[in-house]
Structure formats: C-alpha cells, structure tokens
Structure 1
Amino acid sequence: MAEPRRRRAATEEKVTRVLNAAEEIMLLEGYAAVTSRNVANRIGLSSPLLHYYFPTMDELFVALLRRRSERVVARMEEALASPRPLQAWWDLASDPRGAALFIEFLAAANHRPALKDTMGEVAREVRRLQMAVLDKIAPEYDLDPRDYPPALIAATMQGLALGLVADEVAGYETAHKQARAAMGRLIRRLEQHRARRR
C-alpha cells in the first residue's frame, strides 16, 4: 500500500497557522465565528488558499479537534501516571482554556455531524484510558469499586470540571468558587490518604 504523501514544511507551517487561528477565534468569539473568511483574514491568507488546505469547514473543525485531542490524551496519560494522579487529572480537567474549547466543540458538533462523530471517538478513547487507570489506582485511595465505580469517578471529575469552568467563563454566579474549593479539599485529602498508605 502506498504511504500518504507527506506535507512540505511550508505547507505544515501554514496548516499550523490556520489551526492556531481557528482555535483562537473559537476561544474569543465562539465556534460560529470560525469561518473561512475570518480564519484567512486573521493570518493573511486568501479564502481559496485556506480551502486548498481544508476543502470544507468540517475538515478544518475535525483537524482542529484531532490536534487538540492528541494533546489532551498525552496530557491525560501524564496526569494519570504522575505521583498524584487525581490532583493532576483535576488540574487538567478544570483548565479554563481546555474546558472552554471543549464547550465550543460540543456546540459546533450539534451542527456538524463529522465533528460529532470525531468527538465521540475522542470521548470514548479518553474515558477508556481514565477507567483503565482508575481500576488500578482506586484501591490505593480506599475507593471501593462497588460504591465508587471507575465510570462514576471519571464522569464526576470531568463533568464537575466542565460545569464549573462553563459557569466561570460565562460569568454565572452559581457558587462555582465554593464547589471548586470543596473539590480541591477532597482531592487533597484523597492524595494525602494515598501517600500515607504507600
């Protein structure tokens, strides 16, 4: 089977610039502002040239999600292998930039089936990774899997982080600061307990 053609360095650099611009627009203005004209203008390209690299906006969104998800998976693997895995995981999950981008991807996926399919693949991959590690480390925290199954811990960590960041970014006063502080205390206690047992 023939190997796919490798992009030239100049092409890779332009693709990176396009993806960086699209990501910044998503964060600053929302996913709906990510148009070929907006992205091209931001980096000084013509719209037709942008479409040479990404023939459709769906392809651009999917490429942006894949690039972001590769980073997230790598960072999640590092977090779960760290000396304080729950703390590192929480820090990653509650990162405002990452959560804000995830919210925009979710909104965009409601209107772009290709993006929705890719998000599903990424979500399943990350959840499998989380649950596999939780199967191994939960007993170190004295978390009985009958009471605290990995699926519950993973959904709680990710869901709470996403909800808190969404409210913070939107400026809603939903006692998110108190919830964040309480979660921080809980994780510190769990990490201290695990350290004493080891």
Structure 2
Amino acid sequence: MAEPRRRRAATAEKVTRLLDVTEEIMLAEGYAAVSSRSVAARAEITAPLLHYYFATIDDLFVAVLRRRAEETLARTEAALTSPQPLGAWWELVSDPRGTGLTVEFVAAANHRPALRTEVGRVARELRRMQMEAMTSILGEYGLDLDDFPPALVTAAVQGLAFAVVADRAAGHDTAHEEATAAMTRLVARLEARRAGPPEE
C-alpha cells in the first residue's frame, strides 16, 4: 500500500513543478515562450513525459490558470473582508506577479479558445465577488453609490492595476509609477476616513 502512495506523491510533486515552471516562463518571457520543449527543459524532464501529465499545452495553461484562480479568489475574499478592505484589495491587485500572470493569461486567451473560456469564468467570479463587497462597504468610505457605483469602482481599481503592470512589463513610459502612487494615496485617505477620527 505504501508504494502507490509514494507514486501519487511523486506525481503531485511533478505536476506542481510543471505548473511552477510554466508560471516562471510566462512571467519572464511571456506566454508565447511556453512550449513543450521550454517547459520540459526547465523542469528537467522529457517532452513526452510532460504530455503524460498534460496532453496539450492548452491543458497545461488551463491547469496553471485554475491553480492561480483558486488562490486569487481566496486572497481576494480575505482582502475584501479584512479591517481595511480597499487597502488590502489594492495591495493585492497591484502585486506585479499576480497581475503579471493575469496580463499573460488574457493575452494567451486571445489565441486559445479553451483558455478564453476559463479566463472568462474566473473574471466573472472575481468581479461578482468584488462588486458584492463594494456594494456593502462603499458607503462606509463616504462614497455615494450613485456617483461611485460598484461597477465603476471595481473596473477602475482592477483596470488600473492591469494597465500599470502591463505597461511596466512592456517597458512603456506611461507614468505608471505616478498612477500607482496616486491610487495608493487615495486608498489610504479613504481608509482613514472610514476609520473616523482617532480616539482621544
């Protein structure tokens, strides 16, 4: 009985390594650099063994996305229910690694229908979670939902983070550092407003 358990553990470790390697390539070189050969070489296995675990590169991309999505959904929920939800959420979405992968997945999805379906599913689930949270907490920040509807706030925050990371990765000089700093200051002011005056 012990031998099958060792084999299953070894398989799980190999799969994890392949997912990790694929993420590394996507972040360093872009999704187009992901191939059977590049992933296998980085993971120090053969290409046929890679395809034993993932029949196609699309299957590999989807597995990477699903693992990342599970983590992102959990971290987003934790951020939006934290003592400073806007601050924690902005810190999460402006993380270069996580959003950098999102940028690559969106780009890859333009050319891979199987991935496009999965990216759409994850995006809808994230946006639903974000909008539900904003609907319940924006008033605590002194924001009128008619002027700042949840759909606007979620698109603005998520969209800015996406644009900043994409421009930084591409080396475009679009004042992305200034935009990030301004959003960080705005979020800090809103969190201070929500907390109210300090107790005497």
TM-score, length of structure 1 as denominator length: 0.94
Alignment of 1:58-73 (within 5 A): 58-73=58-73
Mapped contact 1:140–1:197 kept (Cα < 8 A): no
Partner SS, residue 196 of structure 2: helix
2:183 — aligned with what? 183
RMSD: 1.4
Tell me the distance in 1 between the aligned counterparts of 2:160 and 2:197.
Answer: 27
CA-CA distance at 1:169 after TM superposition: 2.1
2:84 — aligned with what? 84
Would you say 1:163 and 2:195 are equivalent positions? no
Tell me the distance in 1 between the aligned counterparts of 2:184 and 2:21.
Answer: 33
CA-CA distance at 1:172 after TM superposition: 1.6
Partner SS, residue 8 of structure 1: helix
Segments ≥4 residues shifted beyond 6 Å: none
CA-CA distance at 1:185 after TM superposition: 1.3
Tell me the distance in 1 between the aligned counterparts of 2:115 and 2:85.
Answer: 30
CA-CA distance at 1:166 after TM superposition: 1.4
Q: 1:197 to 1:141 in 2, by over 3 A?
A: farther
Would you say 1:57 and 2:57 are equivalent positions? yes
2:3 — aligned with what? none
Structure 2: where are the runs of 5+ without partners? Answer: 1-6
Would you say 1:192 and 2:188 are equivalent positions? no
Alignment of 1:20-31 (within 5 A): 20-31=20-31
Mapped contact 1:35–1:57 kept (Cα < 8 A): yes
1:119 — aligned with what? 119
Tell me the distance in 1 between the aligned counterparts of 2:35 and 2:115.
Answer: 15
Tell me the distance in 2 between the aligned counterparts of 1:56 and 1:82.
Answer: 39
Tell me the distance in 1 between the aligned counterparts of 2:108 and 2:169.
Answer: 17
1:173 — aligned with what? 173
Tell me the distance in 2 between the aligned counterparts of 1:89 and 1:197.
Answer: 23
Tell me the distance in 2 between the aligned counterparts of 1:44 and 1:172.
Answer: 34
1:145 — aligned with what? 145
Tell me the distance in 2 between the aligned counterparts of 1:101 and 1:51.
Answer: 23
Identity of aligned residues (%): 61
Residue by residue, what CA displacement relative to the aligned partner does 1:94-138 show, whole Å, maximum 9, x if unpaired? 111111111111111011101000000000000010011111111
CA-CA distance at 1:143 after TM superposition: 1.3
Q: Which moved more, 1:26-35 or 1:165-174?
A: 165-174
2:4 — aligned with what? none
2:11 — aligned with what? 11
The count of residues paired between Structure 1 and Structure 2 equals 192
Q: Which moved more, 1:121-130 or 1:42-51?
A: 42-51
Partner SS, residue 111 of structure 1: coil
Partner SS, residue 75 of structure 1: helix
CA-CA distance at 1:197 after TM superposition: 7.3
Tell me the distance in 2 between the aligned counterparts of 1:18 and 1:177.
Answer: 33
CA-CA distance at 1:144 after TM superposition: 1.1
Mapped contact 1:27–1:101 kept (Cα < 8 A): yes
1:93 — aligned with what? 93
